[in-house]
Amino acid sequence: MNPTLAAIFAPGLFTSSPVQIAALVCAIVAVVAGAVGMFTVIRGQSFAGEALGDIGTTGGAAAYLIAAGPLWGFGAIAVAGAAAMELIGIQRPRGRDVATGIVLGAGLGVAALLLYIDTVQDSTTGATFTIVFGSPFTITSSAIPLVIVLSVISLGIIVLLFRPLLLSSISPELAASRGIPVRLLGAGYLLALALTVALAAFTIGTILSTALLVGPAATALRLTRSPAKAVFAAALIGIATTWLGIVMAYDSYDWPPHGQGWPVSFFVVTLIFLAYLFAGLPNWRRHRATATPTDAATRA
């Protein structure tokens, strides 16, 4: 390998098994999050995505208590939370915000209790820390089959509902007038969102879960107006940023202050944010040149 490449890709990067697992899981999550995320951005439900990831940690804490598989805990609570949001009325534009907020507040309250009990039982704060910050380098290969199953389910829901869901997300009135069951589609989407977020929050942590759900999709929607292209672009941006982040985190093991590596989430989030800002640049220039108001529905 030539010296420049060797400096970027530190020795052992391609043979390290945690790195390989992290790269694989991040790619899977990026694809699913890109597809679901495009609808999340169009429907303006980023908050629901963030909230479901946060209360998924409640499930994680509960699973930790009864020593069940944490991914089951994340999944069960996220789906239950999505159902509660649906009941309170997340599909009404005015109720969306409050529905999400109430469920998040209650979910976090229960999380406080469960983490408290965890802490009292173990007299450590390790559980809090792992559950709140999570890292792709801590996934074990035994979790991969379940990760793939969940991904296939949520991706399947999105592929199956793609066209009617798109119409009912952009123009609910038009969709309803064509006899599309808007409410039912919204519920189906919410289920896919809950599964995706549970999967992402469990495998790569809540920070990256929200970042991958919203960032790449919003960036892609700034680059292209075609929904199908946007899904592909979002998946690619997600994969590129997470892989680059993993490489940088691997390299950072030699960095100051104490040579234990910088967190992957920091690198990935920074890259995603920069991508979003750069994608907005051409649009910003055009805005300044012509000062025409863009259609609010296509702005992301």
Partner 1 sequence: MFTGFMVNAWTVGSIVSIVAGLVGFFVVLRGSAFVAHAIPNGSLAGAAGASLIGVNTILGFGVFALFGALGIGVLSRRGRHDVATALALVVMLGLGALFVDLSVEYTPEIYSLLFGEILGISNNQLTTTVALALVCVIAIIVLYRPLMLSSLLPDVAAAHGISTNRINLAFLAVVALATTMTVPVVGTLLIFALMIGPPAAARSFTDRPIHAMVLSVVIALVVVWSAIALSYQTNYPVGFYVGTISAAAYAFARGWAAWARHATIRGGSDPQPAQVAGSAG
Please report, as ranges, the residues that interact with partner 1 according to CB under 8 A: 41, 44-47, 49-51, 88-89, 92, 94-113, 115-116, 119, 125, 128-129, 132-133, 207-208, 210-211, 213-215, 218, 222, 257-258, 260-263, 265-266, 268-270, 272-273, 276, 280, 283-284, 287, 299-300
Task: Give the dihedral sign, CA 14/19/21/22.
Answer: negative
Q: Which residue has the tokens 């239950």?
A: 80
Q: What is the rounded CA–CA span in Å between residue 56 and residue 132?
A: 10
- Nearest residue (CB) to partner 1, 102 versus 236: 102
CB 201 to partner 1: min, Å: 12
Q: Which of 173, 299, 156 is nearest to 225 (CA)?
A: 299
CB of 103 to partner 1, least distance (A): 8
Nearest to 8 by CA among 239, 263, 249, 275: 249
Tokens 């599309």 belong to residue: 180
Q: Please tell me the distance from the alpha carbon of residue 161 to that of residue 185, in angstroms, as a whole number.
A: 7
* Beta carbon of residue 160, minimum distance to partner 1 (angstroms, whole number): 26
Cβ distance to partner 1 smaller for residue 168 or 241? 241
Q: Which is nearer to partner 1, 92 or 180 (CB)?
A: 92
- The secondary structure of the chain in percent helix, strand, coil, rounded to multiples of 5, reads 80, 0, 20
Q: Omega before 257 cis (within 30°)? A: yes
Report the nearest approach of partner 1 to the CB of residue 272 (Å). 8
- Residue 146 or 171: the one with the smaller Cβ distance to partner 1 is 171
CB neighbours of 8 closer than 8 A, spacing ≥ 6? 247, 251
Nearest distance in Å: CB 156, partner 1: 25
Q: At its nearest, how many Å lie between partner 1 and the CB of residue 295?
A: 13
For the chain, state the CA radius of gyration: 20
CB closer to partner 1 out of 34 and 263: 263
Nearest-approach distance from CB 229 to partner 1, in angstroms: 19
Q: Which is nearer to partner 1, 178 or 225 (CB)?
A: 225
Asked if 300 and 221 count as a contact pair (C-beta separation under 8 A), the reply is yes
Q: Closer CB to partner 1, residue 125 or residue 226?
A: 125
* Nearest residue to 56 via CA among 79, 38, 33: 79
